[in-house]
Every structure is written in C-alpha cells, then in structure tokens.
C-alpha cells in the first residue's frame, strides 16, 4: 500500500471519529451547528498532522533521491539513498516513489560495482600494460645492446677487412719484391758463376801455356797470382754477406786518424788503379787531425769497394778522395769522386741493395760490394749516399760517407784500452 493511500485512510478515520463523538456532545446540550466548528477543527488538526506525516514520508525519500542524483552527477557514486538489502519482493510491494528510490539505489549499487569491476580491470590492464612496457623497455635495451654489438662487430669487421686489404697489398708487394729478389738471386748465381769462372780460366790457361813453353814461368805466376786474388775477393764477398745475414760480422772498434785511414785506402787502391789504367787517385784533407772510432780494416774494405767500382768504369780518369769535417754536426764527410760515365738511373735508387749490378758486356761484379759497404758504414753510426755529378755540370759519380767524430775523452779512453 502506498503512503498516500495510508494518508487518506487516516483522514477518513479522523473524520469518522469526529462524527462518532458528535452524539456525545449533543447529549450534553449543544446543537450540531455549535459542534460543527469543533468537528472541523478536529478534522483539520488531524489532517494537518497526517499531512505532515505524509509530507515527511513523501518528501524525505524524494530529497534523498535528489541528493543522490546530484551526487551521481558530480561523479560520486558512494552516497547511499537507501540502506539495507533490496529484494525483489520488497521492490514489488513498494509504492511508486519508494520503487523509484529503490530502483535508483539498485542502479547506483550496480554502477558502483561496475565501476569497481572496471577499476579492477583497468588496474589489471594497467599492471599488464606496465609489465608489457617494462618488457618492451628491456627488449629495447637488449636490441640496443645487440645493435651496439653489431655496430662494434661491423666496425671490427671493417677494420679486419681494411687490415686484410692492407695485408693483401703488402703480400702483393712482398710477392713482387720476392719475384725481383728471386730474379736478382738467379742473376747473382749466373754472375757469381761467371765471376768465379773468369779468374779460373786465365789460371788454367797460364799453366797450360807455361807447360808448353809458350809463356815464361814468371809471367804465368804473375797471371796466376792476379787472378787468384780476384777469385779470393769474390769468395770474401760471398762469405761477408753470409756473416752479415747471420749476425756474425764483427768489428774491432779503435781510435782512427781519418787522414791516415784515407792514405791507407789510397795506397792499397793505387796498385789496382795503375793496373786498370787509372791515372791518379788523390786525397784532399781540410783537417789533418780528425779522429773517429771504428774498425780500420772494415772501413778500408768499405772504401776499397767504392774505389774498385770506380776503377771499373772510370777508365783513364781520376779518382779523388776528400775529407771535410762538420763541427756543427759533429761529423766528418769523406767523398769519393770519379770522372767516369756515372751511375745508371735505373740502378741508382737500389744501388746499395744486394745483387745489384750492371750486366753489360765487359762489366764484371757480384753486386755485393756496395751492400757490404753500406752495412759497414751504418755499423759505425754513419751514412752513405751516391749521386751523379751531371747535376753540377760535371761527369762521373760521387759517394759521400758521413761518420761521427768522437770527443777527446772517448778517444783517450779507447786509445788506453787499445794500448792495454
């Protein structure tokens, strides 16, 4: 039953009660007309009381419904407009207003549950998304590390390729050099065989002519001795190169007067020069007392190799040995100049290498002399260079050797050591 129906029932009951008590007032001597205002007043009072009750009963749920609606509109779903359990039977038995209130409350609760469920779902999804995000970040870091590793491997591979290309170029160059060296060795074997054979033939020929009486004994011995020395020199060249390669080419370092060294070289070379038609071998000194420290025998060998080469080419010419000290550099320069045809341009860049020689007719040599000379000079902390004189308007070639001059204390110490 609705609250309005209850209200009308109460008003009717009050009115019936007033009529019921009317005879009582009539009995006490009052007329019905006099009692009518009283009845109306009672009825009005009952109606007012009942109306207040009805108003409260109707307006209170309506007020809660309005407040709940406003709260929901503001997004607050937690404000209740009805407490307790809402069953289906209660919903069926409720009046219209109560039914609206209960339905709104049920809707609010369902929305709240739905919101809670959605929030939980959103939280779960958020956690899941966060996990996915963390996994993606981790995978991105893994990818970055992998990419960095790949970049590093690519750079390393590039470096390896560059090194491989460089090694390939070096290998190609080494192969070319090896081919050149092999050819030079082949040429050397042929030249060495020819050089060894050349002095042997005159020796055999001299012996045969002497046996037949076609050559005197003295002339035969002279030819044999000359060619034997030449044969010995060739053997010495080959042995010296072997010692250089094996590291057993030794030196006996002592103080040496440069002037006396040059005089020794000039004296030993003059005999060979006279035999080959060289006019003169002269020496020029700017300082008579320049001292160096070295192996005199090895230095004589080095200078003699240069002069021997000059003797082969400077036919009927002049060979000059000049010394010039350089106090600023602490060195002394010894130059050997000839007036022959000069050094061929194709040979000049590799002149001091092994097996380098001219193979033209009547030009003899093993191609080892200047290699040995350069080794000896560098062992004395010196340098050697060769050039043609045509740049200065002359002819022939010039070899310049630079050797360090030792201070007096070092010279004295080495002299005392030598004396003991």
209-245 core/surface letters (b: 16 or more CB in 10 A; e: else) = ebeeeebeeeebeebbeebeebbebbeebeebbeebe
CB 356 within 8 A of CB 241: no
* Of 60, 81, 102, the domain-final residue: 81
* Of 81, 108, 128, the domain-final residue: 81
CB 308 within 8 A of CB 269: yes
Reported as half-sphere exposure (CB side, CA atoms, 13 A), residue 35 has a value of 15
With a cut of 50, say whether residue 59 has pLDDT above it.
yes
Q: Give the pLDDT of residue 220.
A: 84
Q: Give the pLDDT of residue 385.
A: 94
* Interval 186-220: pLDDT, tens: 766 776 676 677 778 888 888 888 888 888 888 88
CA distance linking residue 15 with residue 30, whole number of Å: 19
DSSP label of 307: H
Among 23-27, 136-140, 298-302, the minimum mean pLDDT is found in 23-27
Sequence-ordered list of residues with C-beta below 8 angstroms from that of 414, at least 6 positions apart, any chain: 253, 254, 255, 293, 406
Q: Give the pLDDT of residue 213.
A: 84
Give the total number of structural domains in the chain: 2
With a cut of 50, say whether residue 409 has pLDDT above it.
no
Kindly state whether residue 117 falls inside one of the protein's structural domains: no
Q: Tokens at residue 388, please? A: 């043609």
Kindly state whether residue 345 falls inside one of the protein's structural domains: yes
Which residues does residue 384 pair with via DSSP β-bridges, in sequence order?
401
With a cut of 70, say whether residue 286 has pLDDT above it.
no
Q: Give the pLDDT of residue 368.
A: 80
* Interval 255-284: pLDDT, tens: 999 888 888 888 776 655 555 555 456 566
Which residues does residue 324 pair with via DSSP β-bridges, in sequence order?
333
Kindly state whether residue 40 falls inside one of the protein's structural domains: yes
Q: Give the pLDDT of residue 245.
A: 75
Q: What is the mean pLDDT of residues 72-99?
A: 70
Q: Which pLDDT band holds residue 238 (cuts at 50, 70, 90)? A: confident
Which residues does residue 283 pair with via DSSP β-bridges, in sequence order?
321
Rounded to 10 deg, the angle between the 369-379 and 217-246 helix axes is: 50
**Residue 184 CA: distances (Å) to CA of 19, 324, 346, 367, 380:** 157, 36, 14, 9, 28
Q: Which pLDDT band holds residue 382 (cuts at 50, 70, 90)? A: very high
DSSP label of 44: H
Kindly state whether residue 343 falls inside one of the protein's structural domains: yes
Kindly state whether residue 177 falls inside one of the protein's structural domains: no
Q: What is the mean pLDDT of residues 245-254?
A: 86
- 186: helix, coil or strand? helix
* Of 57, 81, 105, the domain-final residue: 81
Kindly state whether residue 172 falls inside one of the protein's structural domains: no
Q: Give the pLDDT of residue 275.
A: 54
Q: What is the mean pLDDT of residues 34-49?
A: 67
With a cut of 70, say whether residue 397 has pLDDT above it.
yes
SS3 content of the chain, % helix, strand, coil (to 5): 70, 10, 20
Q: Tokens at residue 108, please? A: 């609010």
Q: Give the pLDDT of residue 338.
A: 86
Site of tokens 């002269």: 282
Kindly state whether residue 142 falls inside one of the protein's structural domains: no
Q: Tokens at residue 194, please? A: 């020819």
Q: What percent of the chain has pLDDT over 70?
A: 66
Site of tokens 């050094």: 343
With a cut of 70, say whether residue 374 has pLDDT above it.
yes
DSSP 367-401: S-HHHHHHHHHHHTT-EEEEEEGGGGT--SEEEEE
Q: Which pLDDT band holds residue 360 (cuts at 50, 70, 90)? A: very low
CATH no. for residue 410? Answer: 3.30.565.10
Closest-CA residue to 203 (of 224, 221, 182, 219): 224
CA angle 207, 221, 194 (to 5 degrees): 65
Kindly state whether residue 375 falls inside one of the protein's structural domains: yes
Q: Which pLDDT band holds residue 66 (cuts at 50, 70, 90)? A: confident
| Structural domain span for residue 380 | 250-419
Q: Give the pLDDT of residue 361.
A: 41
The H or E element spanning position 316 is: none
């Amino acid at each position: 039953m609705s609250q309005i129906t209850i209200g009308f029932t109460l008003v009717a009951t009050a009115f019936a009660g007033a009529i019921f008590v009317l005879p009582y007032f009539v009995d006490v001597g009052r007329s019905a007309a006099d009692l009518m205002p009283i009845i109306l007043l009672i009825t009005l009072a009952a109606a007012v009381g009942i109306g207040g009750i009805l108003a409260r009963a109707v307006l209170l749920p309506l007020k809660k419904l309005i407040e709940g609606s406003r709260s929901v509109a503001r997004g607050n779903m937690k404000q209740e407009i009805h407490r307790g359990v809402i069953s289906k039977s209660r919903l069926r038995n409720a009046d219209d207003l109560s039914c609206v209130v209960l339905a709104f409350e049920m809707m609010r609760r369902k929305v709240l549950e739905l919101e809670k469920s959605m929030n939980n779902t959103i939280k779960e999804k958020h956690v899941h998304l966060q996990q996915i995000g963390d996994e993606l970040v981790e995978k991105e870091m893994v990818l970055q590390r992998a990419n960095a590793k790949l970049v590093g491997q690519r750079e390393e591979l590039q470096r390896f390729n560059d090194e491989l290309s460089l090694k390939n170029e070096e290998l190609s160059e080494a192969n070319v050099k090896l081919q050149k060296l092999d050819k030079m060795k082949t040429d050397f074997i042929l030249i060495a065989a020819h050089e060894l054979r050349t002095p042997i033939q005159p020796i055999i020929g001299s012996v045969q002519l002497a046996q037949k009486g076609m050559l005197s004994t003295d002339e035969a011995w002279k030819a044999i001795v000359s060619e034997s020395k030449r044969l010995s020199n060739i053997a010495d060249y080959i042995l010296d190169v072997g010692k250089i390669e094996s590291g057993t080419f030794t030196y006996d370092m002592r103080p040496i007067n440069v002037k006396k060294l040059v005089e020794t070289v000039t004296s030993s070379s003059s005999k060979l020069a006279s035999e080959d038609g060289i006019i003169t071998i002269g020496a020029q000194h700017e300082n008579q007392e320049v001292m160096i420290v070295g192996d005199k025998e090895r230095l004589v060998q080095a200078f003699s190799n240069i002069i021997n080469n000059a003797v082969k080419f400077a036919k009927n010419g002049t060979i000059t040995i000049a010394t010039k000290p350089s106090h600023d550099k602490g060195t002394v320069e010894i130059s050997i100049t000839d007036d022959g045809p000069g050094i061929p341009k194709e040979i000049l860049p590799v002149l001091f290498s092994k097996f380098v020689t001219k193979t033209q007719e009547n030009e003899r040599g093993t191609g080892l002399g200047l290699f040995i000379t350069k080794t000896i000079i560098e062992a004395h902390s010196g340098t050697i260079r060769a050039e043609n004189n045509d740049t200065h308007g002359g002819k022939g070639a010039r070899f310049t050797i630079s050797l360090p001059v030792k201070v007096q204390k070092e010279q004295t110490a080495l002299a005392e050591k030598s004396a003991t």
